[in-house]
Structure 1
Amino acid sequence: MSIRKIEIMDTTLRDGEQTSSVSFSASEKLTIAKLLLEELKVDRIEIASARVSEGELQAVKDVTEWASENNYLNAVEVLTFVDKDVSINWMLDAGAKVQNLLTKGSLNHLTHQLKKTPNQHFKEIEENILLAQKNNIETNVYLEDWSNGMRNSKTYVFEFIAFLSNLPVKRIMLPDTLGVLTPKESFDFVKEIKDKYPSLHFDFHAHNDYDLGVSNVMEGIKAGADGLHLTVNGMGERAGNAPMASTIAVINDFMHNIEIGVNETYLHTISKLVETFSGVMIPENKPVVGANVFTQTAGIHADGDNKNNLYFSKLMPERFGRTRKYALGKSSGKANIQKNLQELGLQLNDEDLKKVTQRIIELGDKKQVVTKEDLPYIISDVLDRNYEEKVKINSYVLTHSKGLKPSTTVSVTIEKEAFEESAQGDGQFDAFMNAIKQAFKKRKITLPKLIDYAVRIPPGSNSDALCETIITWKNDEKEFKTRGLDSDQTVSAIKATEKMLNIIIN
């Protein structure tokens, strides 16, 4: 099987920047350009459109200056227009050496947008390309709306390619501008062109309007495309372009006769950087780079991973500089929790593991998200019950109104005797404590004094599920602490108080 090298051109900084409301600063463009070429190792990058603005000109100058110093200048490309010498002069001012000339790839666009004949268009294109050559600028040519051109004006497309084949053009670029192609059309159209012009270099540029970007790219490669245009996170106009990460993973895993130079270890890094700079958040379920795509949620999957990695595939997270995670929630089984405990260096016996599992399921039923960092606190909360439960807070109502004192009504069982008390206080928890004191006063039991009250979120947790309340009590001369854990601060304090009540009643 012969190996075929495919060029990868990233157009995040040009086509990707056409995502609604996205604009990269000059420093952001330079940072992304460096990562794309030095770390991700794409073959080429398209970084801007000529004539856009002074800010864009400065951004291109920054990139070309760095690229020139680091031998990447011929890998930096700029979109230009058939506008006599305007774009060429802009390129010269910017220090760029490769133009991607935007031309009309369908008779429909040519006739209704430019209102010109093919011969008129071709003549102006030839003038531009020869002027570029005179100024030592390399030319690639975009056939805009090529996909519809192949559907509706194929004779024109082949006449155009025949014309370009006699000019100093390095690459002819075939864009599915409106993202309308099916995978079969992508294959058939590219193959028809490559069969007729096997010695010419053709890039395939897919958009994702029908969510077929990656499928169309695969078919374009099979048909003989020599290069691909991709964007980080699939950014681009409308539904965006074919996404970099998914496409690279697909090529590496399923197209064994294709060779690419992309370093997939950096796919996640560049994805997060572009997310930060663009403000466009990555969906959590986005393949390869999404937050959840290497997270097992179902307990049966974690159990299978413990038994000969039954739920592993070629998409191993380590390939992309990531790690596999096991979610904690209502679908968690003991295997999920054991995986997380192993990472923390903790062990529990079967009985304690069962208690912790039940607590995590309870939190999951409340739609709370639990993280690995929360686990030690859940364990502490669940296992810190070395007493017989003689006091139980059954229910309570906490009220807080403007201009009125907070009040609480509490139902509590003390050694099988039920009490219902109401009280006011300076805050909701103070009102709760006053109601509890009234119930215990009827049992002639004095409660210890509260001398310290601290609330914290488990360190390292990025979850909104839990906060821990630690209350220090003083009874006679003895001090002791109790902890409560819940998503609500007041409720966590109530749980800490319930532990205190059981300690003193025992």
Structure 2
Amino acid sequence: MASKRIEIMDTTLRDGEQTSGVSFSASEKLTIAKLLLEELKVDRIEIASARVSEGEFQAVKNITKWAKDNNYLDKVEVLTFVDKGVSIDWMIEAGAVVQNLLTKGSLNHLTYQLKKTADQHFSEISETIALASSKGIKTNIYLEDWSNGMRNSKDYVFQFLEFLSTQKVDRIMLPDTLGILTPPESYEFVKEIKEKYPDLHFDFHAHNDYDLSVANVMSALNAGADGLHLTVNGMGERAGNAPMASTIAMINDFMPTIEIGVNEKVLFTVSKLVENFSGIMIPANKPVIGANVFTQTAGIHADGDNKKNLYFSDLMPERFGRTRKYALGKASGKANIQKNLQELGLSLNDNDLKKVTQRIIELGDKKEVVTKEDLPYIISDVLDSYSYEEHTKVNSYVLTHAKGLKPSTTVSITIDGDTYEEIASGDGQFDAFMNALRKIYMMRDENLPDLIDYAVRIPPGSHSDALCETIITWKNGKNEFKTRGLDSDQTVSAIKATEKMLNIITN
């Protein structure tokens, strides 16, 4: 079967900007436009609606100037209106040469919004197209509410299409404006139109209100659609538009007779930039571009990946400039941890690996977030913990810190089977904890080592919820030694390091 080249039009800067709360600056729009055309290599971009604002006008001027200088001007499109040439004048001033003219694709919209007859509407459209042509502007036509038009007023839609077939129009754009179509309807409606007008170019524009946009796009392509309208991250009004990344991956993997020019390697890069500019965060589980979609959590999956990549699919992360990750948490098995250790260039024997695995599971049970960068700290902490016999155990403690009052701590510990409880205050919570311990050891006629250094570190790039490693250097007579503690709370990690010290001096 012969392949067919499909145009991809990105409307992130126009329809995508209709996402609630999103407004790109002129410089952001220019940056995104450059990335879309030069790096992602979409065929066309829709960048604005005419007559919106002075800021929008300046943004369009910036983009059209750059596009003209770089031979992209015919790929830059602006949404316009049937308004006796006002939109066309706006376009000319802004330097744009392709209009996407918004018209009524359903009898319901025509009757109740415009309050006009079909002949009146067609006549005004014809005048607008002729005026645009006389000014050197090319025209594409949006049939707004086309999907409802096909459901409820099909005769009107075909009357409209018959009229458009006589006009100087490059593309007819079929929007599922309210996202109401099902995949069978998308196929049926597009196929019926393409069979009647095989020589006309039809774009399909899907919305995602029922989470069916990608499925509808697939059906429309199977029915013969010539172009698609997509947005980065699926941005757009309400539930958004058909998402660029998922759609491109779907076409490349499941539609071998469809050719597209999009460079999927930069999909993730563009998505992250748009996320930053828009302030709309990408869901962690969003296909292709979400933070978690190439992360294996279950240990059995990591084990399967070690055995002839049993849990791999064609949706490989490297295609999109990403890497596979193996999550560390309560579902982790040894295989997950080994994968992360390999990336860090570390190795453990089976016995030590078992101990580290158990510690990670314990952290996961407490809902701690464990990252690959935490692993060296966890390994150090775990292996250090097994280097001595436990004679002393910190049973419990209460740390208090109130404004205007000295911090205080109540501590309960067991030493060689005897349990002690003491209260003390100090200059900080850890100092109060140490003062309480000193009281207990004074009762036993024993001295504690001196604390001579106290260092805290977290893995590079971590956030406020990161695991924290506290390394304390102690001096006991002439001897110095270090202990480590690991926890997401700095004071608790110091207490864990101190508990190790107590066991070392007891052994």
Letter of the 1:224 counterpart: G
Which string of whole-angstrom CA distances, capped at 9 and with x for unpartnered residues, describes residues 415-451 of structure 1?
Answer: 2222222222222212211121122223221001122
Letter of the 1:458 counterpart: P
In 2, Cα distance between the equivalents of 1:383 and 1:350? 13
The alpha-carbon deviation at position 462 of structure 1 amounts to: 4.9
Partner of 2:235: 235
Letter of the 1:45 counterpart: I
Letter of the 1:469 counterpart: T
The alpha-carbon deviation at position 471 of structure 1 amounts to: 1.6
Partner of 2:175: 175
Q: Superposition pairs for residues 379-394 of structure 1, below 5 Å?
A: 379-385=379-385, 386-394=387-395
The alpha-carbon deviation at position 463 of structure 1 amounts to: 7.3
In 1, Cα distance between the equivalents of 2:86 and 2:198? 33
Partner of 1:125: 125
The alpha-carbon deviation at position 12 of structure 1 amounts to: 0.2
Letter of the 1:161 counterpart: L
Which string of whole-angstrom CA distances, capped at 9 and with x for unpartnered residues, describes residues 362-409 of structure 1?
Answer: 111111111101100111111113222111111112222344332222
Partner of 1:420: 421
Partner of 2:400: 399
In 2, Cα distance between the equivalents of 1:33 and 1:407? 59
Partner of 1:261: 261
Partner of 2:324: 324
Does the CA-based 8 Å contact 1:371-1:462 persist in structure 2?
Answer: no
Partner of 1:134: 134
- Choose 461-470 or 127-136, whichever is displaced more: 461-470
In 1, Cα distance between the equivalents of 2:364 and 2:466? 9
Tell me the secondary structure at the aligned position of residue 447 of structure 2.
coil
In 1, Cα distance between the equivalents of 2:140 and 2:83? 16
Letter of the 1:54 counterpart: E
Partner of 1:492: 493
In 2, Cα distance between the equivalents of 1:20 and 1:465? 33
Could you list the runs of 5+ residues in structure 2 that have no partner in the other structure? Answer: none
Residues matched between the structures, number:
506
- Choose 431-440 or 209-218, whichever is displaced more: 431-440
Which string of whole-angstrom CA distances, capped at 9 and with x for unpartnered residues, describes residues 246-301 of structure 1?
Answer: 00001111111111111100110000000000000000000000000000000000
In 1, Cα distance between the equivalents of 2:244 and 2:132? 30
In 2, Cα distance between the equivalents of 1:224 and 1:403? 74
Partner of 1:483: 484
In 2, Cα distance between the equivalents of 1:218 and 1:110? 29
Misfit runs of 4+, over 6 Å: none
- Choose 383-392 or 131-140, whichever is displaced more: 383-392
- Choose 282-291 or 471-480, whichever is displaced more: 471-480
In 1, Cα distance between the equivalents of 2:309 and 2:186? 37
- Choose 455-464 or 320-329, whichever is displaced more: 455-464
Does the CA-based 8 Å contact 1:405-1:427 persist in structure 2?
Answer: yes
Does the CA-based 8 Å contact 2:458-2:466 persist in structure 1?
Answer: no
- Choose 428-437 or 248-257, whichever is displaced more: 428-437
Q: Superposition pairs for residues 47-446 of structure 1, below 5 Å?
A: 47-385=47-385, 386-446=387-447
Letter of the 1:315 counterpart: L
Letter of the 2:57 counterpart: L
Does the CA-based 8 Å contact 1:371-1:463 persist in structure 2?
Answer: no
Tell me the secondary structure at the aligned position of residue 384 of structure 1.
helix
Letter of the 1:9 counterpart: M
Q: TM-score scaled by structure 2?
A: 0.98
Tell me the secondary structure at the aligned position of residue 471 of structure 1.
strand
Tell me the secondary structure at the aligned position of residue 251 of structure 1.
helix
Letter of the 2:421 counterpart: E
Does the CA-based 8 Å contact 1:374-1:461 persist in structure 2?
Answer: no
Letter of the 1:59 counterpart: A
Tell me the secondary structure at the aligned position of residue 14 of structure 1.
coil
- Choose 41-50 or 419-428, whichever is displaced more: 419-428
- Choose 420-429 or 86-95, whichever is displaced more: 420-429
Partner of 1:458: 459
Does the CA-based 8 Å contact 1:9-1:230 persist in structure 2?
Answer: yes
In 1, Cα distance between the equivalents of 2:27 and 2:75? 19
- Choose 359-368 or 11-20, whichever is displaced more: 359-368
Tell me the secondary structure at the aligned position of residue 101 of structure 2.
strand
Could you list the runs of 5+ residues in structure 1 that have no partner in the other structure? Answer: none
* Root mean square deviation of aligned Cα: 1.1
Identity %: 81
In 2, Cα distance between the equivalents of 1:29 and 1:397? 54
In 2, Cα distance between the equivalents of 1:284 and 1:355? 30
In 2, Cα distance between the equivalents of 1:352 and 1:249? 41
Letter of the 2:453 counterpart: D
